[in-house]
Amino acid sequence: MLQFNQTGVPAYSSWWINVTGFAPQHQTGHDVLGGVSVPNGTFPWSVAVEIAGGVGNPSHGNVTVAGQTVYVDVAFSVPNNTVTFRETGLDGLSGEAWSVAISGAALLNNGSISGTASSLSVRLPDGPYTFRAMPPDTVWIVSPLTGNFSVGASPSIISLTFAVYVYVVFFDPHFSGTSPVAWSVLVSGAFTNSTGYTVYNGELFVNGSSQDVSQTFANSTYNYSVRVPAGDSVSPASGFLSVMGRGYGINFTISASPATGPVAWGIDGYLVLVTLAVVGLAAVLLVIRRRRGSPPAP
């Protein structure tokens, strides 16, 4: 058995082992070892890498196999440099990983890098490439999403900006039997982040007019409750707010509660009551007097 131990080939690039009299063996940079099964004997060999300008040291030679595996060390030298993708917006939120898919002529297969740090780096052979950035989940958007870059004589830095994908929700009050009053909405159970968006777990809105109020929310499910001044009522007073890829409006009606308790009598009310009592008493006395004063029948 003839084994080649390589260093220097980028992970997604190809290299080959050629042993005279045997089929070439294809490997990738992921493969540190590459082997060819040969009988005992002396064999010419050579190695190659797909990257233009890349060369192995040594690049060829002769090896003798005599009953045991022989190892050949090859150090490839290839033109390459570091590419760094630097993000803002995520800031390592909750340890969620983001990633970048990379493709290019110098890569045998599409490759990708991922992690939770604010920057991700990879060494690539010289040449042109395309990339596609991938957020942790559908809550996030990234700009730019795709792009092109080249690896040359100096390191490259590509900046990516992540933001929460938000939708507008309108809270629309209607007033019945009352003029516009101050109202508020309490929303809880929200998605939180470190990018400057409001943490939706507190008093959101206070508004003394009949105009609706809008607020942006990330995809998530929330609880809300509407608060109105004492003596007024609201319907619905609470509910669920489910933001899943769209915005919408929440309508509620604020009504003045009917008056309750004892009737407040003014002076005019008391005069009417006294007058009615006097008239009633006089009528009773008149009926009694007439009955007493009537002569008996002959």
Q: Is the pLDDT of residue 80 over 80?
A: no
Residue spans per domain, the chain: 2-77, 80-164, 166-256
Strand order in the sheet with 14-19: 25-28, 14-19, 41-49, 60-65
Identify the DSSP state of 269: H
Higher per-residue pLDDT: 98 or 260: 98
Dihedral sign (CA 22, 24, 26, 31): positive
Interval 161-197: pLDDT, tens: 988 777 888 888 888 887 778 888 887 765 544 444 4
Mean pLDDT of 201-206: 50
Q: Name the strand (E) or helix (H) holding 292.
A: helix 267-293
**Cα–Cα distance, 63 to 44 (Å, whole number):** 7
Residue of 11, 46, 47 whose CA lies nearest to 30: 11
Highest mean pLDDT among 74-78, 93-97, 234-238, 255-259: 234-238
- Domain 2-77: state its class: mainly beta
**Cα–Cα distance, 228 to 218 (Å, whole number):** 26
Query: Which of the four pLDDT bands, split at 50, 70 and 90, describes residue 131?
Result: very high
CA distances from 121 to 124, 143, 281, 284 (A): 10, 18, 104, 108
Give the pLDDT confidence score for residue 183 in this predicted structure. Answer: 83
Identify the DSSP state of 295: P
Q: Which residues contact 85 (CB under 8 A, 6 or more apart)?
A: 100, 113, 119, 120, 121, 131, 133, 158, 160
Interval 98-112: pLDDT, tens: 999 988 765 655 678
Q: What's the first-to-final CA gap in the chain, in angstroms? A: 157
Looking at every residue in the chain, the average pLDDT score rounds to 77
Six token digits for residue 107? 């890569």
Give the pLDDT confidence score for residue 274 in this predicted structure. Answer: 54
Dihedral sign (CA 139, 141, 142, 146): positive
Query: Which of the four pLDDT bands, split at 50, 70 and 90, describes residue 207?
Result: low
Interval 263-277: pLDDT, tens: 444 445 555 555 656
Q: Please count the CA atoms within 13 angstroms of the CA of 262 that sit on its side-chain side.
A: 3
Give the pLDDT confidence score for residue 146 in this predicted structure. Answer: 93
Query: Which of the four pLDDT bands, split at 50, 70 and 90, describes residue 64?
Result: very high
Give the pLDDT confidence score for residue 235 in this predicted structure. Answer: 93
Q: Same CATH fold, 166-256 and 80-164?
A: yes
In CATH, the number for domain 166-256 is 2.60.40.10
Q: What is the 3-state secondary structure (H, E, C) of 142-170?
A: EECCEEEEEECCCCEEEEEEEEECEEEEE
**pTM as predicted:** 0.49
Give the pLDDT confidence score for residue 187 in this predicted structure. Answer: 79
State the fold for domain 80-164.
Immunoglobulin-like (2.60.40)
Give the pLDDT confidence score for residue 119 in this predicted structure. Answer: 87
> Does residue 127 contact residue 53 with C-beta atoms inside 8 Å?
no
